[in-house]
Chain A
Amino acid sequence: MERAGRADKVEEYSPPAGKVPVFVALRDIQFAKGRFALMGAVVTLITTLVVFLYGLTGGLASAASSTITGLRADRIVFGAPAGAAPTVSFSNSTVSPAQAAAFASAPGVSSARPLGLSLTRLTASEAATSVSVLGTDAALLPPLKSGSAPAEGQLAVGSDTAAAYHLAPGAQVQVGPEKLTVSGITEQRSFSHAPTVWTTLSTWEQLSGQNQPTALALSTASGAGPGALDAAQGTKTVSLADSLSGINGFDAEQGSLQMIQGFLFVVSALVVGAFFTVWTVQRKPDIAVLKAVGASSAYLVRDALAQAAAVLFGGAVLGGLAGAVGGVFAASAVPFDVSVLSVAVPVAVMVLLGLLGAVLAVRRITAVDPLAALGASR
């Protein structure tokens, strides 16, 4: 009997690069709905938790540092009291007029603006709150939503602070020992978890009792560092991003949350890897049969990975959506960053790390001996 339509030449076959076999993968998921639903639910829950943590980490970072990250500058210069070595610390730093002048006239520096930073109390309408006060040039103010930049004896407040305390331009508030007038409403910023209010350097000096700025905000023409100037002036200049470790508790807070995220990612990879290890062991007889009838290891591994990807993607997307919806509600009570990136990044990392766990599990497929399909001892 002739074999119609069949080539006389037998060749090795592996699925083409762009073609992912899913024949068995999808039918296994349909057949073992309970097991895969359970695994998908675990992925969903872990992803939800990771998205929450990711949003919380972003929100807390923003609450601790948005005043600094929003500055129109690229470097921060830290100084130190006489006799002390400069460190990256907003609470310890102080910059002398000579140091400020040296940086302002340094080659490649387009501006060196003083920053006076302190924490104090704002009282308005018999309600009080902690605020961070930043005394600086009007050029460093966040975009104004109404009113004008503060002059002497005035301050600008963030929009959320203004809404919370019913402040508008012209309102009188007590900031530390000084009574100031609100000149304008800016975009909301905060420093060290306290909403920031903005004023002039001299007003800041009056209310903080300081006579020198805390640091300098540099704008450089090419992003170049100050070179030997730090050594000559006894200062320490770092990028805007590096300066965040100068905020009290910033590194510890972010490090703790990021460590929890990292553990969750590792746990998810291990859980997914363990599930697919058990699943692969359970499937060994089927794999042996498929190999015995001519399925290549490449075909079977790709089929198994497609199955893992389907479970991971489904679970992670659901978890991402749950995390995003939960985050929207959480944002009204706690600092929480909800954005496309804050959801997409943890979802993508979950899928990638889960796939890594699955790869380690399904590589066992290559070791399955098709001889096992023939039954007991041979």
Chain B
Amino acid sequence: MTLSEVKTRTGLALHEVTLTYPDGENRLTALDRVNLEVAPGEFTAVAGPSGSGKSSLLAVAATLLRPDSGQVLVDGQDAGALGPGARTALRRERLGIVFQQSNLLASLTAVEQLLVLESVRGGRVRTARRRAEELLASVGLDGAKQQRRPHQLSGGERQRVNIARALFGSPSVLLVDEPTSALDHERGAQIVDLLAEVTRTHGTATVMVTHDRDLLGRVDRVLEMQDGRLR
């Protein structure tokens, strides 16, 4: 299905979203009638213990999982009404994902991690190079480091590439999965500060799931996840 026209940038909204997984003969409720709205330019953190449903929330918001019921709206588009191809297109055009592990492709340099998205879009890679370099510089990765492959970068630098890649498609919604799990406190704080900054400068509706409560003072809003419920 092709997505219909988007008139305005409305961020992310989840309405009464329920998600269950098979668990033997029963079903385990991962998300229990979750409601969430994140406006453009807002940085929201979802905290909670392991197994509380944070990552399920992120997977549903990223359109990687279909909820059993409820609505997921990305920029006003109901992801549940879309076919697989259109959901892929929605992720490409409207969503940016910052992965827990930086999940960079080993064969690509830092700048190519961004340019591959231009190739995926069917765009001109050569003309997009300057924009990719500028974006990498804006997250603190410039000069020769842009030409390095992931194994030649530090954990913090890989995470900056990860953030730049997520922003490359000018997404409306930025979904961030435990961005500091592989970093020490100081570098983790720098990354969260960077996410707060790009949320403001890029106007994204940013949702970060984390278990690191020390960093929650740096976000606009903190929500608690417990047993699949959001408070």
**Chain B residues with CB below 8 A from A10, complex form:** 2-3, 6, 77, 86, 89-90, 92-94
A85 CB contacts on chain B under 8 angstroms: none
Interface residues in B4-19 by Cβ distance below 8 A to A read 4-7, 9
Q: Does B144 contact A (CB under 8 A)?
A: no
Determine whether the beta carbon of B117 is less than 8 Å from that of A289: no
Query: Contact at A289–B7, with CB atoms within 8 Å?
Result: no
Interface residue from A15, A16, A24, A292 paired with B62 (Cβ < 8 Å): A292
With A292-B64, A293-B165, A378-B56 already in contact, the answer to whether A13 and B92 are too (CB < 8 A) is yes
| Neighbouring A residues of B88 by C-beta, 8 Å | 12, 291, 294-296
Minimal beta-carbon separation of A139 from chain B (angstroms): 66
Interface of chain A residues 29 through 59 with chain B (CB within 8 A): 30-32
Contact of B152 with A by CB under 8 A: no
Asked if residues B89 and A15 are in contact (CB atoms below 8 Å), the reply is no
Whether a CB of chain B sits under 8 angstroms from the CB of A321 is no
Contact of A27 among B3, B30, B107 (CB under 8 A): B107
In the complex, A291 Cα to B7 Cα: how many Å? 26
In the complex, the answer to whether B125 meets A23 with C-beta atoms within 8 Å is yes
Q: How far is the CA of A375 from the CA of B40 in the complex (A)?
A: 26
- State the CA gap A12–B172 with chains docked (Å): 18
Taking the nearest CB of chain B, how far is it from the CB of A35, in angstroms?
A: 11
* B170 at interface, CB cutoff 8 A: yes
Tell me which of B98-106, B132-140, B183-191, B215-223 binds A. B98-106
A360 within 8 A of B: no
Distance from A25 Cβ to chain B, minimum over Cβ atoms (Å): 10
> Does B58 make an interface contact (CB < 8 A)?
yes
When C-beta atoms are compared, the residue in chain A nearest to B57 turns out to be A378
- Contacting residues, chain B, for A292 (C-beta < 8 A): 62, 64, 91, 97, 99
A373 at the interface (CB under 8 A from B): yes
Tell me which residues from 34 to 62 in chain B have a Cβ below 8 Å from any Cβ of chain A: 40-41, 55-56, 58-59, 62
- On whether the beta carbons of A293 and B89 are closer than 8 Å, the reply is no
Size of the B side of the interface (Cβ < 8 Å), in residues, is: 57
Given A294-B91, A373-B99 in contact, is the A24-B5 Cβ separation under 8 Å? no
Question: Which listed residue (A9, A12, A370, A374) contacts B5, Cβ 8 A?
Answer: A9
Docked pose: A175 CA to B88 CA in angstroms: 81
Given known contacts A11-B2, A291-B88, A293-B165, is B203 in contact with A24 (CB within 8 Å)?
no
Q: Which of A1-22 contact B (CB under 8 A)?
A: 1, 3, 6, 8-13, 15-16, 19, 21
Indicate whether A286 sits within 8 Å of B119 (C-beta atoms), given known contacts A292-B91, A294-B169, A375-B100. no
Report the bound CA distance from A299 to B101 in whole Å: 24
In the complex the two chains form, what is the Cα distance from A373 to B166 in whole Å? 13
Q: Which residues of B contact A225 (CB under 8 A)?
A: none
CB distance from A261 to the nearest CB of B (A): 36
Complex CA–CA separation, A9 to B107 (angstroms) = 32
Whether B115 sits at the interface, judged by CB under 8 Å, is yes
Docked complex Cα distance between A8 and B121 (Å): 15
Contact partners of A11 in chain B: CB under 8 A? 2-3, 89
Name the residue on A nearest B107 (C-beta).
A31
User: Does the CB pair B92–A28 fall under 8 Å?
Assistant: no
Q: Tell me, yes or no, whether B154 is within 8 Å of chain A by CB.
A: no
Once bound together, how far apart are the Cα atoms of A286 and B166, in whole Å? 15
A378 / chain B contacts, CB cutoff of 8 Å: 30, 55-56, 59, 65
Give the CA-CA distance A6 to B172 in the complex, in Å: 12
Q: A314-346 CB contact bits vs B (8 Å, 1 = yes)?
A: 000000000000000000000000000000000
Which of B85, B101, B119 meets A21, CB within 8 Å?
B119
Cα(A371)–Cα(B62), bound, Å = 9
Contact indicator per residue, chain A 341-378, by CB within 8 Å of chain B (1) or not (0): 00000000000000000000000000000110111001
Give the distance in Å from the alpha carbon of A300 to the alpha carbon of B221 in the complex: 38
A371 to B106, CA, bound (A): 19
**Which residues on A sit within 8 Å (CB–CB) of B149?**
31
Contact call B100/A27, Cβ cutoff below 8 A: no
Answer whether residue A290 sits at the interface, using C-beta atoms and an 8 A cutoff.
yes
Q: Which A residues lie within 8 Å of B112 (CB)?
A: 23, 27
Contact indicator A375/B202 (Cβ below 8 Å): no
* Chain A residue, CB-CB nearest to B177: A374
Tell me if A285 counts as interface (CB < 8 A to partner B).
Answer: yes
| Contact A293:B108 (CB < 8 A) given known A8-B6, A13-B122, A374-B99 | no
A285 touches B169 (CB 8 A): no
**Of all chain A residues, which has the CB nearest B102?**
A289
Chain B residues in 8 Å Cβ range of A30: 107
- In the complex, the chain A residue whose C-beta lies closest to that of B30 is A378
Query: In the complex, what distance in Å separates the CA atom of A17 from the CA atom of B34?
Result: 42
Contacts of A370 in B (CB 8 A): 64
B116 within 8 Å of A (CB atoms): yes
Contact residues in A for B177 (Cβ distance below 8 Å): 374-375
Instruction: For A32, give its contact among B58, B107, B115, B122 (CB under 8 Å).
Output: B107
Contacts beyond the supplied A9-B6, A296-B120: 13 A-B pairs with Cβ under 8 Å: A3-B9, A3-B172, A9-B3, A10-B77, A11-B89, A13-B120, A32-B107, A286-B105, A291-B88, A295-B88, A375-B55, A375-B99, A378-B56
Pairs of residues from A and B, 3 with the lowest C-beta to C-beta distance, nearest first? A294-B92, A1-B203, A31-B107
Binding site for A on B (CB under 8 A): 2-7, 9, 30, 40-41, 55-56, 58-59, 62, 64-65, 77, 85-86, 88-95, 97, 99-101, 103, 105-108, 112, 115-117, 119-122, 125, 149, 165-166, 169-170, 172, 177-178, 201-203
